[in-house]
Copies of this chain bind each other. A is one copy, B any other.
Amino acid sequence: MVLSTRVRMARNLDKWTFTHWSKKEVLKELGEKIKEVVLGTKLLGDGLLINMDDLSEMERMMLAERRLISQKMVRLFQNRSLIVSKDEGLGVMINEEDHLRLYATDAGLSVKKVFSKVNSLDDQLDKKLNYAFSERFGYLTACPTNVGTGLRVSTLVHLPGLVLNNDIRQVIDGMRHVRLSVRGTYGEGSEVIGNFFQISNSITLGLSEVETVENMEMHIRKVLEFEKKARNRLMKEAHTLLEDKVYRSFGVLKNARIINSKEAMKLISDVRMGVGLKILSDIKLSNLNEMLTRLQPIHLQNFSGKAMTPEERDIARADLIRSVLS
């Protein structure tokens, strides 16, 4: 039910102006300094350094679709860099909104493990870099919403049971009540499609990092319990209806020749639920999750080896899905 967990920390260096205030030369000097330190750590010593100035827009969009850089970094790329581990599970964006954005990701619900990875990197960097830190506020960040821990824990969860059961509204209200924010798959302002929800902490002040992590894990586990109950109830009370829904979506995914991304996500959502409920076997959840990444426009273009119109993309998307499912 949890596709991935992601933890990121926003950090800035003392005495240096924030990125959006800095002149080119300053960004350049600061970038070089940070890169050297990051590549000097044990954790990212063998990481891949990618300077955004060396990439085409398409290549930057590709990195954004893989969530290795932000959408903001696709547009504002000069003197920006990424250092990322080979397994893509640990990385640092340099000169993004903050001087450093450390992040770690992993499949499934593993908030503590993912936090400890990024926390270890933070500890190593802390020894070499002079972080902007206030005894009163904590870490200082370019945007006030990050001040304090600078910590954002997000999980991408799949809640079709609660949506079908019409309990999702109540669950979302509950999460907002405990200061979690709930969004669509593609972050802030994005629409919820295919019952995929991104849940993250919305406050960074007044709580320690460890408290944030533990809180998050506890609340997500509660939501997952609700989802499980909803699915069990549906299996009991509407088994054939559920089966019908899952199999129809599977049949369309396996056969369509033209499919837009919204419909694809909805159908994949049904199939994922079917795998979770053991209605469908022989399909790996990891394949479906990977498919969600590969279906994005630039990945798709890459799969087809050429630039495409939206109509051509709908055809390529259907081709890709069939090739993954067969």
Residue numbers of A with Cβ under 8 A of B are 240-241, 243-244, 247-248, 250-258, 315, 318
User: A293–B252 Cα gap in the complex (Å)?
Assistant: 26
Which residue in B240, B247, B251 is a CB contact (below 8 Å) of A315? Answer: B240
Closest-CB distance, A262 to chain B (whole angstroms)? 16
Contact between B255 and A240 (Cβ–Cβ < 8 Å)? no
A256 engages B248 (CB within 8 Å): yes
**Nearest chain-B residue to A245 (Cβ)?**
B257
Name, among A241, A252, A253, A257, the residue most crowded by chain B CB atoms within 10 Å (CB to CB).
A257
Provide the main secondary structure of the chain A interface. helix
Q: How far is the CA of A255 from the CA of B257 in the complex (A)?
A: 17
Expressed in whole angstroms, the minimum distance between the Cβ of A267 and any Cβ of chain B is 10
Task: Give chain B residues whose Cβ lies under 8 Å from the Cβ of A254.
Answer: 251
Least Cβ distance of A190 to chain B in Å?
27
Report which of B241, B250, B255, B315 forms a contact with A248, defined as CB distance below 8 A.
Answer: B255
**A250, B255: Cβ atoms closer than 8 Å:** yes
A258: B residues at CB distance < 8 A? 240-241, 244
Docked Cα-Cα span, A255 to B255, in Å, equals 11
Residues in B neighbouring A257, C-beta threshold 8 A: 240, 243-244, 247
A326 to nearest B CB, angstroms? 12
- Across the A-B interface, the 3 shortest Cβ-Cβ residue pairs: A251-B255, A251-B251, A244-B257
- Note all chain B residues with C-beta closer than 8 A to A315: 240
Chain B residues lying within 8 Å of A253, measured Cβ to Cβ, are: 251
Contact of A256 among B244, B255, B318 (CB under 8 A): B244
A249: nearest residue on chain B (CB-CB)?
B255
Q: How far is the CA of A6 from the CA of B202 in the complex (A)?
A: 73
In the bound complex, CA of A251 to CA of B254 (Å): 7
Shortest CB distance A239–B (Å): 9
Known: A244-B318, A251-B254, A251-B256. 5 other contacts (CB 8 A): A241-B258, A244-B258, A248-B256, A250-B251, A251-B255
Chain B contacts for A318, CB-based, 8 A? 244
Q: How far is the CA of A30 from the CA of B257 in the complex (A)?
A: 61
CB contacts (< 8 Å) of A250 on chain B: these are 251, 255
Q: Find out whether the CB atom of A252 lies under 8 angstroms from the CB atom of B248.
A: yes
Note all chain B residues with C-beta closer than 8 A to A251: 250-256
